[in-house]
């Protein structure tokens, strides 16, 4: 009977109709009662996996994710510092666009595009030249949003998704067992083996929609679009207000525009325009800047999305009603 319902669902649903995981698999529950993001299966879901949220969790699942992220990032930095081109290619070679989660922009873009082919030169050159990397400041992958140009929420999410893919598959299988969702065995390429530090191909069980596998994502590790840019701008303002404005040496060449020759905030910003290179230089000069920012400001900005925030993205009727 269940198979027949799924058959008619596929036959009569228009390809452009909005349908979520909960609809397609007749779960009888919506987002507040689900542990995973109830994604729309035929449209973009502008939510992004956030490695910072993974760091701040303290459960068994996210600890496994964090281990894989740490191994991946450490191995990449080591390969770049050793100028080992073959190893760099191996490490970045598995970062093809992760379409199975339906998060971000992937559903509206050509499938199979490689994150590595687009970002590899930028990542490698930045790691080689970036002073924050050389000095060990950029030791956490989650901090790349603050120091590496052209790496924003979507790319951070893409890379994180591929690195933790085996954990997401395990989570998906657990949720399918919990909700009696049927699965089929499918080939999954580019699964990161954190023990042997290589990309592998495995045959795994996953739910299927329109002939394509779906991977569920825990709702406590996603963030909204543009958060990476917001974090960086907040970091920049923090550097200006807490450090540069209080450093006479940094203010010597700033042209004041205030009354009686006072230096205003806009004057400092004009002399030290926003850029990730300038942030890296500031971090070298002020060794505690990143740590202070994380403890004083960033920790307050970090929070898991509420169900209502996720619903505004994944349920069209909810967004229209709000």
Structure confidence by residue, pLDDT tens digits, 170-223: 999 999 999 999 999 999 999 999 999 999 999 999 999 999 999 999 999 999
Structure confidence by residue, pLDDT tens digits, 16-59: 466 999 999 999 999 999 999 999 999 889 999 999 999 988 89
N- to C-terminal Cα distance for the chain?
37
Q: Name 192's bridge partners.
A: 199
Strand duo 184-193 + 47-49: pairing: unpaired
- Lowest-confidence region among 32-46, 86-100, 138-152, 156-170: 138-152
Report the pLDDT value the prediction gives residue 6, as an integer from 0 to 100. 46
73-86 average pLDDT score: 87
The tokens describing 59, both together, are 């459960």
* Residues 6 or more apart in contact with residue 16 via CB below 8 angstroms: 42
How many whole angstroms separate alpha carbon 251 and alpha carbon 266? 12
Report the pLDDT value the prediction gives residue 11, as an integer from 0 to 100. 40
Report the pLDDT value the prediction gives residue 60, as an integer from 0 to 100. 94
What average pLDDT does the structure give for the chain? 85
The tokens describing 260, both together, are 């009686």
Q: Is 18 exposed, middle or buried (0-12, 13-18, 19+ CB in 10 A)?
A: middle
CA distances from 209 to 83, 131, 290, 291 (A): 43, 46, 43, 44
User: What DSSP string runs through 212-242?
Assistant: EE----BGGGEEETTHHHHHHHHHHHHHHHH
How many whole angstroms separate alpha carbon 209 and alpha carbon 216? 12
* Residues 6 or more apart in contact with residue 10 via CB below 8 angstroms: 210
Tell the residue number behind the tokens 């499938």, with chain if given: 111
Report the pLDDT value the prediction gives residue 119, as an integer from 0 to 100. 62
* Residues 6 or more apart in contact with residue 310 via CB below 8 angstroms: 31, 37, 38, 47, 219, 222
């Amino acid at each position: 009977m269940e198979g027949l319902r799924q058959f008619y669902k596929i036959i009569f649903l228009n390809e452009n109709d909005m349908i979520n995981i909960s609809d397609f698999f007749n779960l009888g529950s919506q987002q507040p009662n689900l542990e995973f993001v109830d994604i729309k299966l035929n449209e973009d879901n502008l939510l992004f996996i956030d490695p910072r949220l993974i760091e701040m969790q303290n459960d068994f699942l996210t600890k496994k994710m964090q281990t894989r992220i740490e191994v991946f990032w450490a191995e990449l930095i080591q390969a770049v510092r050793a100028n080992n081109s073959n190893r760099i290619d191996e490490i970045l070679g598995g970062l093809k666009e992760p379409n199975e989660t339906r998060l971000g922009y992937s559903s509206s873009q050509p499938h199979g595009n490689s994150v590595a082919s687009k970002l590899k030169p930028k990542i490698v050159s930045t790691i080689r030249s970036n002073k924050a990397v050389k000095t060990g400041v950029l030791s956490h992958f989650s901090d790349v949003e603050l120091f590496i140009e052209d790496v924003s929420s979507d790319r951070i999410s893409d890379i994180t998704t591929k690195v933790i893919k085996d954990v997401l598959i395990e989570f998906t299988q657990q949720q399918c067992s919990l909700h009696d969702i049927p699965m089929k065995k499918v080939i999954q390429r580019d699964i990161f083996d954190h023990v042997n530090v290589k990309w592998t191909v495995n045959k795994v069980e996953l739910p299927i929609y329109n002939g394509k596998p779906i991977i569920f994502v825990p709702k406590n590790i996603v963030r909204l679009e543009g958060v990476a840019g917001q974090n960086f701008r907040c970091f920049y303002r923090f550097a200006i207000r807490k450090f540069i404005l209080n450093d006479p040496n940094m203010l010597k060449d700033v042209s004041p525009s205030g009354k009686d020759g006072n230096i205003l905030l806009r004057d400092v910003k004009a002399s030290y325009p926003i850029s990730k290179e300038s942030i890296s230089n500031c971090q070298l000069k002020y060794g505690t800047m990143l740590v202070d920012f994380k403890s004083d400001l960033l920790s307050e900005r970090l929070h898991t999305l509420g169900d209502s925030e996720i619903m505004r993205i994944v349920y069209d009727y909810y967004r229209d009603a709000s």
